[in-house]
Amino acid sequence: MSFPSSTGWRQRRNSGWQYRDIVDGAATGWTGLEFYARRFTHSSEQEWRQRLQAGRMRRGDEAIAADTVLAAGDRLIYHRAPWTEPAAPRWFALLHEADGLLAVAKPAGLQVLPAAGYLQNTLLDVVRERRGPDWAPAHRLGRGTTGLVLFASDAPVRRGVAAAFHDGSLVKVYRALVQGTDLADRFEVDAEIGAIPDPTMGSIHAAVDRDGRSSRSLVRVIERRHETGASLVDVEIPTGRPHQIRIHLALAGHPLVGEPLYGVGGKPRTGAVRSAARPGDIGYHLHAMSLLLTHPVTGGQISLYCQPPSLLRSVVAG
């Protein structure tokens, strides 16, 4: 299977969106500006002020201003105007379809679900456009990750697959290109992952010493590329935390080649090296290669494989 380059990426103009929020007890007494600026740090305080001044936020039938005082239980709606979404590769490859389950191969650069600046330039939108409106993803991959994504056409299948991802009853293996060649042939990373404060994002997932979620990655070296100082590895993850493989390999001292965010200790880089990097940035080399699962309705065993991009293929292992 080939994974095209940036050729063919397209921007998309959407029709806008309504973001709904309920004010909780911690935000009681905050102004409208404080609520949006504190809770949604992806935009500056000045940007939120301009949106409030334009009347884009409402509480019921009432437009709220920057100085409107909020109370617990207030239901807010932010009417975001239509915008042109960043370019993305609007394609997928069909790998399997049977009994309400669809497996597709996702390219790097395509968001699975709406997030950040992406609303319709997503894998969800492309799959529904080409296969019908009933399909929804049972899990997700990072925007920069290629490979297997499962969709379900009805709720029982979707819930069953999502539960299997959550409880670790399916086997999932990723292929990755990491920095360094001085790795043990096999090793395990067992480290908690949780949210930590971040000056750019507000909070971000990273390796933590406590109060995180247990996370385990099993790493096997496939090929050492001494000429480039990199190694090809397979990673099985019994757990599935956000950015788990990226965090764990960085923690082990071997971050992904092209990793824009995570560095020493499984933490986001800091200072000039960090620059404007975000978790959704692409450029790293990670591929969801295989899944082995039991169909939640039929009980049948399903084995799925998605050939890695050429850079992640081994002469011996494929």
Residues 215 and 253 both lie in one domain = yes
Could you tell me if 80 and 121 lie in one domain?
no
Across 59-63, 92-96, 113-117, least confident range: 113-117
Reported residue count of the chain is 318
Question: Is pLDDT at 65 greater than 70 in this prediction?
Answer: yes
Same domain membership, residue 109 and residue 233: yes
Domain-ending residue, one of 24, 56, 84: 84
First-to-last C-alpha distance (Å) of the chain: 12
Are 76 and 129 within one domain?
no
Does residue 8 belong to any structural domain of this protein? no
Q: Tens digits of per-residue pLDDT, 245-263?
A: 999 999 999 999 999 999 9
Q: What is the mean pLDDT of residues 240-246?
A: 94
Q: Is residue 3 domain-resident?
A: no
Orientation angle between helical segments 32-39 and 45-53, nearest 10 degrees: 140
273 located within any domain: yes
CATH number, domain containing residue 29? 3.10.290.10
Answer yes or no: is 317 within a domain: no
Please check whether residues 37 and 179 belong to one and the same domain.
no
In a domain, 190, yes or no: yes
Under the banding of pLDDT at 50, 70 and 90, the label for residue 201 is: confident
Q: Which residues contact 95 (CB under 8 A, 6 or more apart)?
A: 103, 104, 105, 148, 304, 305, 306
- Residue 54 near residue 66 (C-beta atoms within 8 A): no
pLDDT for res 100: 96
CA dihedral 210, 287, 295, 99 (to 10 degrees): 140
Under 8 Å between Cβ of 246 and 237: no
Residue at which a domain ends, from 37, 63, 84: 84
CB-CB contact of 246 with 262 (8 Å): yes
127, 23: one domain? no
Are 78 and 220 in the same domain? no
| Domain extent at residue 203 | 87-312
Give φ, ψ of 100 to 5 degrees: 75, 10
How many alpha carbons lie under 13 Å from residue 133 in its C-beta half-sphere? 0
Per the domain annotation, does 7 fall within a domain?
Answer: no
Tell me the torsion sign for CA atoms 197, 203, 208, 210: positive
> What b/e sequence results for 196-214 when a residue is b if at least 16 CB atoms lie within 10 Å of its CB, and e otherwise?
eebeeeeebbbbbeeebee
- Is 274's pLDDT higher than 70? no
Are 173 and 241 found together in one domain? yes
Q: Are residues 174 and 245 in the same domain?
A: yes
User: How many domains are contained in the chain?
Assistant: 2
Do 243 and 195 share a structural domain?
yes
The DSSP code for 267 is: S
Contacts with 47 (C-beta within 8 Å, 6 or more apart), sequence order: none
Q: Are 42 and 115 contained in the same domain? A: no
Q: Which of 84, 101, 122 is the last residue of a domain?
A: 84
User: Are 102 and 80 within one domain?
Assistant: no
CATH number at residue 274: 3.30.2350.10
Going from the C-alpha of 26 to that of each of 38, 49, 199, the distances in angstroms are 12, 21, 21
Position 272 scores a pLDDT of 44
What does pLDDT average to over the chain?
Answer: 92
- The model's pTM: 0.87
Asked if residue 303 belongs to a domain, the reply is yes
Q: Is 301 left (phi over 0), alpha (psi -120 to 50) or beta?
A: beta
Say if CB 125 and CB 136 are below 8 A apart. no
Q: How far apart are CA 220 and CA 228, in angstroms?
A: 19
Q: Tell me whether residue 72 is in a domain.
A: yes
What's the average model confidence in pLDDT over 228-234?
A: 98
